[in-house]
Amino acid sequence: MTECKALRAEVEMLVDGELADDLRVEMMRHMQTCAPCRMFFEQAKLLSQQIRAAKEEVRAPDVLRSRVEQLISERARSMHAVSGQRPDLRRRLGWSLAAAAVVLMIFGVVGIARNSSQRGGAALVQAAIQSHEALVGHRLQLGIATESNQAAADWLNTRTPFHFQIANAGIANDAQAKYRLEGASLADVEGKTVAVLSFRMPGEAISMVVGPGKYSVNKGDSVVYSDGIALYSRRSGDLHLVSWKNRGLSYVLVSPMSMGSPSSCVHCHAGAAAGRTQNARLPYDFGMEETAQYSAVSEYLASSQQGMRAASDKALP
């Protein structure tokens, strides 16, 4: 009975459609033989139905409606006015930036590339926190919404200046994962494109930023070694960060869940029993090819193109 009381949160999640498939099946199976849980489930379902049935139709006053419609049409008019100027602005900015890029390419390639790699510092970690908050707050939307690792990798590989593929082995195997990929997006860190991946577990959002290995990862409050790779863990407010480097890329994982100990792997990976972490594959070891080797020139060219795109974007309304 005491155990069943502890399951009540899961029962409510079941009613709210927030329980993961495997847990839902498990819970339904449990309720076949557990009368108290079954009764709690029926009551919770009934209450939800009663609340929904009591929903009263509310219509915003006409005066408010017409004010809002006016705001929208004014905004549409101003957007239209600005968009008419867009091609000229973009063309002008594009040419001037292209000219600047040629000059800089001749004189400043090596210096800029070196400076950029030294500045990396906490930028990727900061980007990971901001991306996570923006994803949760709907300010950053997924460029591709998919549960397919391959589809996300394909999408990212045409947009990032580094190559990666998503591993499907060890505890990162799909069958072991309690999390689900939601999709991918992009962010710019110091003019460089980095990958943002969004995962979801029941009730929790997890995100990960992946960038070139030149970005240093912050040394955390604790460290866990897995296959010789150091996973640094630390807190930032309500969030927990794990960062590591592997095969030429830097990773920062952000989650509201604590991830500072080997046993915490079981939160996300069904097969990751406590103590196995030392020999387990990384949860997000994407098995990167050793192709993330950039010359200073290609690195600079990539940043120049992004700089032009960013400047063009700023000209948009």
Partner 1 sequence: MFSFRRREPAQSLGTEYLDTLYRYALVLSRDRSMAEDLVQETYVRALEAQDRLYANSNVKGWLFTILRNLWFNELRRRRNQPQQVESEDGIQEVEMLPSASPTAHALLEQQESTSRVRAAIAQLPQEFQEVLLLREYEDLSYRDMAAVLKCPTGTVMSRLSRARMNLRSLLVKAEEEAFSLGQRR
Taking the complex as a whole, the smallest distance from the CB of residue 144 to partner 1 amounts, in Å, to 9
- Single residue of 2, 32, 33, 55 touching partner 1 by CB under 8 A: 55
Whether residue 220 contacts residue 233, with contact meaning beta carbons closer than 8 Å, is answered with: yes
- Single residue of 166, 187, 292, 302 touching partner 1 by CB under 8 A: 187
Q: Which two tokens stand for residue 166?
A: 């998503």
Q: Does 167 bind partner 1 (CB under 8 A)?
A: no
Nearest to 246 by CA among 279, 278, 292: 292
What's at 228, amino acid-wise? G
Q: How many residues bind partner 1 (CB under 8 A)?
A: 64
Q: Does 143 bind partner 1 (CB under 8 A)?
A: yes
Q: Does 43 bind partner 1 (CB under 8 A)?
A: yes
Q: Which two tokens stand for residue 152?
A: 């996300």
- Single residue of 4, 8, 301, 307 touching partner 1 by CB under 8 A: 8
Q: Which is nearer to partner 1, 193 or 277 (CB)?
A: 193
End-to-end CA distance of the chain: 60
Instruction: Return d(Cα 185, Cα 164) in angstroms, integer.
Output: 14
3-state secondary structure 150-181: HHHHHHHHCCCCCCCCCCCCHHHCHHHECCEE
Instruction: Return d(Cα 279, Cα 66) in angstroms, integer.
Output: 64
Q: Does 130 bind partner 1 (CB under 8 A)?
A: yes
Q: Does 93 bind partner 1 (CB under 8 A)?
A: no
- Single residue of 4, 154, 173, 188 touching partner 1 by CB under 8 A: 188
Angle (CA) 79 81 83, round 5°:
65
Taking the complex as a whole, the smallest distance from the CB of residue 136 to partner 1 amounts, in Å, to 5
Instruction: Return d(Cα 155, Cα 195) in angstroms, integer.
Output: 10
- Single residue of 22, 26, 69, 174 touching partner 1 by CB under 8 A: 69
User: By the criterion CB under 8 A, which residues form the site for partner 1?
Assistant: 8-9, 12-13, 16, 18, 43-44, 47-48, 50-61, 63-65, 67-69, 71-72, 75-76, 123, 126-127, 130-131, 134, 136-143, 145, 185-190, 193, 200, 203-205, 238, 256, 310, 313, 316-317
